[in-house]
Chains A and B, each alone.
Chain A
Amino acid sequence: MIGDGAATPDSNVDGLSDADLVELYRQLVLLRTYDERSLVYHRQGRIGTYAIFWNHEAMQVGAVAALDDDDWIFPSYRESAIGLLRGMPAHTVLSWWRGHPSGWWNPADYNVASICVPIGTHVPHAAGLAWGKKLRGEPACAIAFFGDGATSEGSFHEGANFAGVLKAPLVLFCNNNQWAISTPLEAQTAAETLADKAVGYGMPGVRVDGGDVLAVHEATREAVARARAGEGPTFIEAVTYRVAPHATADDPSVYIDQERVEAERRRECVGRFEGYLQRRGLLPDELRDSIREGAAQTMRDAIARAEAEPDPDPALLFTPALAAPPRSFDHDLAELRRVLADK
């Protein structure tokens, strides 16, 4: 662990050029802006219920920066906008949160799986993808993002166990923000650390400061190197703190210590990295401002584009469901159109 931002040594970072560091910052700001604007859009009624990821950006940016584009990302809803780091348009993700089919994407276009809403059930998918790539002799690996609560799920266990047995090139990335809605970590597990669970799957488990984008990057890079070397999966426990509600429908004031939240908010991950870059002289004010403005403009354009989408055709109920659909779909759609026309 490199520690908190103030203690980060002002030296070269292994494997990352100065330009790479600024790019990490641009990505952090893009995700931060996405998240902050989404909360506003939700309150304006422009998107639906939204899972906030404020102060989780360093984990997502640091980990994805350690991957190749051929590597697959399996996000949970907490990483809903992670596709932006692979060039996915922001309006696609906003449309997803608007419940609109224009929020669909082909996972193979970005090597980003669909957002997994049920907890931990995508961990076996990531293990299967990684195993399948390995069987094909392709070098790609996979990373699955999930939270501390997911480690209680059977699917997490089954996916991790399969990956261990099959030596699948997989990174299990646990965002331990210490809360599963209102359930704190100590009510989730009796294990001393979540990384300890890795032992049971025969894989290394490492802990890293989830608020330190460079530490996350380094831990993920090492895990990816192991995966590509045929040494199998790694479990990364990135420790952070959830300083926002679980989602827009949640009111944490009834269960969380607000003083702790305020203290954690003051150490938030984007500001830490910004301070580091400024001390290194890599982020002049004009550059910082232009990066922020670029992200803000991206979001203005994205929400306008998402809101300009026409209402989806009812045929979209049926057409994506099956490659070889039954005749009943044609009949159902015709009946639906007739009733809609009569209305």
Chain B
Amino acid sequence: MPTSELTLVEAINDCLHHELGRDRNVLVMGEDVGRAGGVFRATAGLRETFGEDRCVDTPLAEAGILGTAVGLCMAGWRPVCEMQYDAFSYPCLDQLINHVGRYRWRSGGTMEFPITVRMPYGGGVRAPELHDDSPEAYYLHTPGVKVAIPATPADAKGLLAAAIRDPDPVVVFEPKLHYRTMRGAVPDGEHVVALGRARIAREGSDVTVVAYGAMVPVAEQAAAALGAEASVEVLDLRTLKPLDEDALLASVAKTGRAVVVQEAPRTCGYAAEIAAVLAEKAILDLHGPVLRVTGYDVPYPYWKLEDAYMPSVARVVDAVRKLLAF
């Protein structure tokens, strides 16, 4: 398949062009997505190509964006809503929790809400407060909503395409740290990565490091840093909900050890869910406890402190060593 070398944000832009061209019911909406092409340029060119009705600059109101998207679905549209930043998305949780995740159920399964919410997430970009959060747990805890987080440009395109085509609401978090710092081969044209399928980013036999989004490169670097000291398998979950439980259990059955890495604060984060699944279903495969490397239970800090907050290669290496020594 022909590919192009694209940055992560270019892959997203490529996906949106392809999906809007493929299905005339798809429209993009959000703050500054039209005239400006998005503050990260993820939607650049869409307004010129598909018109201002299909790449809509909305008023500055996140609950209004997601709430009107619910109504657009009732009129047969498949809205792709951009939340400008992770932490700016919180007002939309009102609509997400009260309606987006529930409306299909309360219609007895008769009405579809094929909404995609996409947003840049995560820290490490030296930004002001509230431009750095990893809010996936709030979304994951909402029934009726699926969640995907790509780690590579190819997956950024393929998972977003799958989300747009999915009959259910899907939230896609995009690692903004890697919007322009990561470049990779992205299939040209049609490229869909099915939801619910994890990816082995690196094969290994001693320990599985489970990660997603911006933590996948951290896990990979930790694996490389450990060298011959440990054979590390890196499992990139790609879709957090539904979880690819088979891939998780198969990897841990092979390695017998698991370290879960998440950028978000620790308590009730997704790493806890992974640990719980392993406790329920892999207890006899485990040679030691499931360890977590996470952000701390503190507000995401101002950026002179963010390197201390972020799960680092050194912290992942340390966790792997502890587990091997258990």
Listed in ascending order, the chain A residues whose CB lies under 8 Å from chain B are 72, 101, 104-109, 113-114, 118, 121-133, 135-136, 138, 142, 154-155, 158-159, 161-162, 165, 319-324, 326-328
Contact = CB atoms under 8 A, between A and B. Distances in A.
Contacts of B241: 326
Nearest to B68: A128
Nearest to A114: B106
Nearest to B146: A322
Contact of A129 (B53, B71, B146): B71
B294 interface: no
Contact of B99 (A72, A121, A142, A328): A121
Given A131-B71, A132-B72, A321 B95 contact: no
Interface string B95-115: 100110001111111111000
Contacts of A121: 63, 67, 94-95, 98-99
A129 B74 contact: yes
B72 A131 contact: yes
Given A106-B110, A135-B27, A154-B63, 18 more contacts: A104-B108, A105-B107, A105-B108, A108-B110, A109-B110, A125-B67, A125-B99, A126-B71, A128-B67, A132-B75, A132-B76, A133-B75, A135-B77, A162-B58, A162-B68, A320-B106, A320-B107, A323-B112
Nearest to A109: B110
Nearest to A316: B108
Given A108-B111, A321-B144, A323-B168, A125 B106 contact: no
Contacts of B143: 321
A323 B111 CA distance: 9
A219 B166 CA distance: 42
Contacts of A322: 104, 144, 146, 168
B91 A154 contact: yes
Interface of B: 27, 53, 58-59, 61, 63-64, 66-77, 91, 94-95, 98-99, 103-112, 143-144, 146, 166-168, 196, 241-243, 245
B311 to A, nearest CB: 27
A118 B110 CA distance: 21
Nearest to B63: A158
A133 B146 CA distance: 27
Contact of A158 (B67, B103, B105, B242): B67
For A105, A131, A138, A319, which residue has the most chain B Cβ atoms within 10 angstroms?
Answer: A131
B72 A128 contact: yes
Contacts of B70: 124-125, 128
B74 A113 contact: yes
Contact of A323 (B76, B98, B104, B106): B104
A228 to B, nearest CB: 16
A124 B111 contact: no
Contacts of B144: 321-322
A135 B69 CA distance: 13
26 contacts: A108-B110, A121-B63, A121-B94, A121-B95, A121-B98, A123-B67, A124-B67, A126-B71, A127-B71, A128-B67, A128-B71, A128-B75, A131-B72, A132-B72, A132-B75, A133-B75, A138-B75, A155-B94, A158-B67, A159-B64, A162-B58, A162-B64, A165-B59, A320-B104, A322-B146, A326-B243
Contacts of A321: 104-105, 109, 143-144
A108 B196 CA distance: 30
B59 A158 contact: yes
Contacts of A132: 71-72, 74-77
Nearest to A320: B109
A221 to B, nearest CB: 23
B67 A159 contact: yes
Nearest to B69: A128
Contacts of B71: 124-132, 142
For B61, B73, B109, which residue has the most chain A Cβ atoms within 10 angstroms?
Answer: B109
Contact of B242 (A105, A136, A154, A326): A326
Contacts of B68: 124-125, 127-128, 131, 159, 162
Contacts of B66: 124
Contact of A101 (B64, B73, B77, B108): B108
A85 B318 CA distance: 67
A132 B71 CA distance: 7
A326 B194 CA distance: 13
A158 B75 contact: no
A107 B75 CA distance: 11
Contact of A104 (B67, B106, B242): B106
A122 B106 CA distance: 14
For A123, A130, A158, A319, which residue has the most chain B Cβ atoms within 10 angstroms?
Answer: A158
B106 to A, nearest CB: 5
Contacts of A104: 106-108, 110
A123 B64 CA distance: 9
Contacts of B73: 128
Contacts of B108: 101, 104-106, 320
B63 A124 contact: yes
B118 to A, nearest CB: 18
A130 B243 CA distance: 36
A72 B74 contact: yes
A120 B68 CA distance: 13
Nearest to A134: B75
A148 B106 CA distance: 25
A158 B61 contact: yes
A124 B166 contact: no
B263 to A, nearest CB: 24
Contact of A136 (B75, B104, B146): B75
Nearest to B53: A135
Given A106-B110, A121-B67, A165-B59, A128 B74 contact: yes
Contacts of A101: 108
Nearest to A158: B64
Contact of A320 (B72, B74, B105, B245): B105
